[in-house]
Amino acid sequence: MSFMKKIGFSLLVVLLALGSMIIPQNASAAKHDEATRGEFIKQVVTALNLQTGDGSSLTFKDVDKQLAPYVEAAVKAGLVHGRSATLFDTNGSLTREQAFVISARAAKTDKTYPMTLLDRFKDKKDFGASLRPEMAKSIGLGLLKGYSDRTAKPKQPVMKNETRAIVNRLVKVSQQHPGTPETDDATVALRVMGTTDLHMNLVNYDYYQDKLIQDYGLAKVGVLIDKARSEVKNTLLFDNGDLIQGTPLGTYEVSVNPLKKGEVHPSFAAMQALDYDVMSLGNHEFNYGLDYLDQVIETAGMPVLNSNVYDVKTGKNRYKPYTILNKEVTDSKGAKHQLKVGVIGVVAPGILRWDGAVLEGKVTVEDAAESVQKFLPEVQKQGADLVFVIAHSGIGNEKAEKNADDVTWQISAMDGVDGVLTGHNHALFPGDFKDVKNADQEAGTLNGTPVVMPGKFGSHLGLLDYEMKLKDGKWSILSGKGSLRQVDEKSTDVHQGVMDAVSKSHEGTLDYIRTPVSKTTADITSYFALVKDDPSIQIVTDAQKRYVESQIPGTKYADLPVLSVGAPFKAGGRYGSDYYTDIPAGDIAIKNMADLYVFDNTITGLVMTGADVKEWLEMSGGQFNQIDPSKSGEQNVLNTNYRSYLFDVIDGVTYEYDVTQPNKYDGDGKVVNEGANRVKNLKFDGKPIDPAQKFMVVTNNYRASGNFPGVRNASDTVAYQYENRQAIVDYMVANDPLDPSADNNWSIQPVSGASMIFETSDKGKKYIGDDGRIKYVGPSQDGYAKYELK
């Protein structure tokens, strides 16, 4: 059954211009003269003689007892929605646009009115994109006439003295079009809950820092799930994949404590504890290969879906493309009904790029949106009353190439799709994507269809809420909206069922992260990472390069030279003199990764030219102040206003910085000195770099998505969806013991006659060693010290 692409707007009620009546405009009208939502709802319900109850079914906390029966009747009739599950906003003002939409809903008719009706108004661009079908309906019914200057003024508030005339016209139109909603029919409230991109964050624990946290984790979301279930009689619970990989717990289950035949993977044990109904595969489910994934799915205890991955040998779907859930629901009068809920799953086609090493020649992947379109008629033919899509695909926009990874926009626009649980972007909807066409943040809809993207790691729970009615054997949706709930960071409450289900794996993972994975033959520090090549960055770049070089054989990037980028994340500055990497020689464990690599980034490859590499390094050169060779006295070589995480070191090439030159770019990547040329002697393979030569440059997803010079010119992006920190762990395991040395591929050119100084922690003096260019001058303040760069 098609979700009627209704505006899932927050309740806003009503006001139409009557006949040729001109509503006077008065910009200075007092706020108290504006009609409120609550006042108008009461007038509409009374005039249409809708049956009222006692208001007890409402979940809104701001509706008083006197008004509750009228609001309840309007909600059941599908005329209005609340601003959230608990807020109706009875005293909120109304706009004309909102009034026309509510009036169009009230004047029930099956007739479809053309969008060309909107053309009669020269300010039609001011109509909300998702509201236009019902705005056209209000015009076609004669509810909206507009003003003599051919404007509709949709955003103008409705005044109290206008509401009586509006209601009178609504009554007249309703008499001409029998079938005005009645609330004596029972309705069904259905809530579909969803999670996405959990990445093995089952327990609220940061394994890299070896500490308890309260802002994410399935055990935290479980508390929200229990509460959301208690509010609505009829619920379903979906997951959108990227489940089995992403923390040391995932690695532990693959490498240290592999599944035995018939054993339930801890991620599914946790989901079973929460009574999930269905799950669809994300791209990270394929990281460990098809055999491992098959073993995990075998004991999932729920349907695991995907409709766009095909077996190369058989040409058939590799996984179950969809399922029909037979859901018993209870209506508002207590009667039981059977509801058939169809669910289709898709994944981003990029899995062949990201995991080609384990998938190439075994599976093919079809366009996600086209796959939904393919199976939708089949699901409907099997009697689905509602159809949901679980799309491990980002939001995207109205323009999408074939096999694009982000196509939720296209899926939400399909007739027959009633709701979408999306993810992959590690973002929020509603909340983010405010500039996307037809995205209604208030209603949580995209192209009129309820859509939720509930963050990452178990930070949020997505809710798709519907009011439905069964008539003549067919279900119709009266209203639908999407919303998010964030876990309570201030509470220590967790879902005990989840904790019990994964306790053994969690305890095993704690032992795992605390057990040394390698040894380092020397201390690893970052005290001088801003003035010379440094082992703390070298380890990161070497690890990233190793990972990508293992992924590109057999791909179109196989012949590209690989460069690798790292930055000194912990380099003092505004975080204080103790904020440096400082790992002592000896055993090194996984939990030390937070000291070496602060952020939970994923590896990304960028295809770019030698010229792009040069501009990237010019941007990094903003780390340094310009030094005047003719100036006497000390000059600070470090620009303290430049964030150290922007100072990218690119390994695989050699280069020098001439700090007597001005910086070419500011901290935002804008050109400030067009002719500046700080980067000198840039070479690849011992020869001056060819500006036209192409490279695969390895960085992280954060840098790849930014507007860095050079980065923004990349001709191709490969998001490997593998954590940088995990790549470092892999590198350390493969290099035991680890010799933390730098290859000295970059340096700051000496400046004759100038006294260049810089500050770093006083602790750094013991690590100067035999470096003749760095001299300890003395302590400064707050644990810092002054050093000279010769």
Sign of the CA dihedral running 712, 718, 723, 725: negative
DSSP reduced 3-state for 229: helix
Contact 346, 308 (CB under 8 A): yes
Query: Could you give the strand order of the β-sheet that contains 687-688, starting from the edge strand earlier in sequence?
Result: 687-688, 679-684, 654-657, 746-748
566: nearest Cα among 523, 591, 529, 521: 529
CB atoms within 10 A of CB 547: 23
- CB 240 within 8 Å of CB 427: no
Which among 252, 281, 287 has a CA at the least distance from the CA of 357?
287
Tell me what the mean pLDDT of segment 548-561 comes to. 94
Query: What would the pLDDT profile of 429-460 be if each residue is shown by its tens digit?
Result: 999 999 999 999 999 999 989 999 999 999 99
Q: Is the pLDDT of residue 167 over 80?
A: no
- Mean pLDDT, residues 608-621: 98
Of the CA atoms within 13 Å of residue 760, those in its CB half-sphere come to: 29
Residues with Cβ within 8 Å of 582's Cβ and at least 6 positions away in sequence, in order, are 523, 524, 525, 526, 527, 595, 763
Sign of CA dihedral 5, 9, 14, 20: negative
pLDDT tens profile 617-655: 999 999 999 999 999 999 999 999 898 989 999 999 999
pLDDT of 354 above 80: no
Name 234's bridge partners. Answer: 190
Which residues neighbour 167 within 8 Å (Cβ) at sequence distance 6 or greater? Answer: 43, 44, 47
Residue 29's pLDDT band, with cuts at 50, 70 and 90, is very low
- Residue 44 in tokens: 């509409």
What is the rounded distance in angstroms from the CA atom of residue 71 to the CA atom of residue 82?
A: 10
Q: How far apart are CA 500 and CA 219, in angstroms?
A: 10
Cα of first residue to Cα of last residue in the chain, in angstroms, is 75
Cα separation, 709 vs 616, whole angstroms: 5
Q: Which two tokens stand for residue 692?
A: 């036209």
Q: H or E segment at 347?
A: strand 336-347
Cα 619 vs. chain centroid, distance in angstroms? 28
Mean pLDDT of 163-170: 71
> Which pLDDT score, from 0 to 100, does residue 343 have?
98
272 within 8 A of 301, measured Cβ to Cβ = yes
Is the confidence at residue 245, as pLDDT, over 50?
Answer: yes
Q: What is the dihedral of CA 485, 219, 192, 434, to 10 degrees?
A: 40
Return phi, psi of residue 509, to 5°. Answer: -70, -35
Tokens 């899926």 locate to 411
In terms of C-beta density within 10 A (0-12 exposed, 13-18 middle, 19 or more buried), how is residue 376 classed?
buried
How many residues can be counted in the chain?
A: 790
Q: Residue 228: helix, strand or coil by DSSP?
A: helix
Residue owning tokens 């790691």: 457
Q: Are 755 and 787 in contact (CB under 8 A)?
A: no
Q: Which structure tokens are listed for 92?
A: 């909120």
Question: Nearest CA to 195 among 274, 263, 264, 250?
Answer: 274
517 has a pLDDT exceeding 90: no
Query: Which range, of 54-68, 131-145, 757-771, averages the lowest pLDDT?
Result: 131-145
- Contact yes or no for 456/284 (Cβ under 8 A): no
**Among 97-106, 374-383, 668-677, 763-772, the least confident range:** 97-106
Residues 346, 367: Cα–Cα separation, whole Å: 9
Given a cut of 90, whether residue 246 has pLDDT beyond it is no
As beta bridge partners, residue 80 has none
The DSSP symbol for 259 reads: P
408: left (phi over 0), alpha (psi -120 to 50) or beta: alpha
Query: 652: Cβ–Cβ under 8 A, 6 or more apart, which residues?
Result: 545, 561, 562, 563, 564, 684, 695, 745
Mean pLDDT calculated for residue range 324-351 = 94
Q: What percent of the chain has pLDDT over 70?
A: 93
Instruction: Tell me which amino acid residue 394 is.
Output: G
DSSP 157: B
Instruction: Tell me if the bond preceding 737 is cis, omega within 30° of 0.
Output: yes
- What is the residue whose two structure tokens read 């009353």? 385
Torsion angle defined by CA atoms of residues 489, 494, 498 and 501, in that order, rounded to the nearest 10 degrees: 120
The helix or strand, by DSSP H or E, that contains position 356, with its residue range, turns out to be: helix 356-359
Helices (H), 384-433: 408-412
Could you report the per-residue pLDDT of 492-501, keeping only the tens digit for each? Answer: 999 999 999 9
pLDDT confidence of 583, banded at 50, 70, 90? very high
Q: Is the pLDDT of residue 313 over 90?
A: yes
Please enumerate in sequence order all residues whose Cβ is within 8 A of that of 170, keeping only pairs 6 or more positions apart, or say none: 14, 16, 44, 47, 48, 103, 106, 107, 143
- 3-state SS, 279-300, equals EECCHHHHCCCHHHHHHHHHCC
Q: Which amino acid is at 456?
A: K
In this prediction, residue 110 carries a pLDDT of 66
Identify the top-confidence range among 118-132, 159-173, 323-337, 681-695. 681-695
Residue range 507-535: mean pLDDT, rounded: 94
Phi then psi dihedrals of residue 718, to 5 deg: -120, 105
Q: Chain-centre distance of CA 768, in angstroms?
A: 44
Residue 672 and residue 694: Cα distance in Å, rounded?
27
Name the average pLDDT for the chain: 89
> For position 150, what pLDDT does the model report?
76
Nearest 5°: phi and psi at 705?
A: -90, 0
Cβ count within 10 A of residue 731? 19
The strand pairing partners of 697, in sequence order, are 563, 606
* pLDDT computed for residue 87 by the predictor: 86
What is the pLDDT, as a whole number, of residue 177? Answer: 59
- Among 114-128, 171-185, 761-775, top mean pLDDT goes to 761-775
pLDDT band of 247, cuts 50, 70, 90: confident
Q: Is the pLDDT of residue 32 over 90?
A: no
Beta bridge partners of 460: 486
Total-model pTM: 0.64
Mean per-residue pLDDT, 387-408: 94
Across 512-519, average pLDDT: 90
Helix extents (H) in 80-159:
96-106, 132-140
CB 627 within 8 A of CB 595: no
Other beta carbons less than 10 A from residue 489's beta carbon: 11
State the pLDDT at residue 176: 62
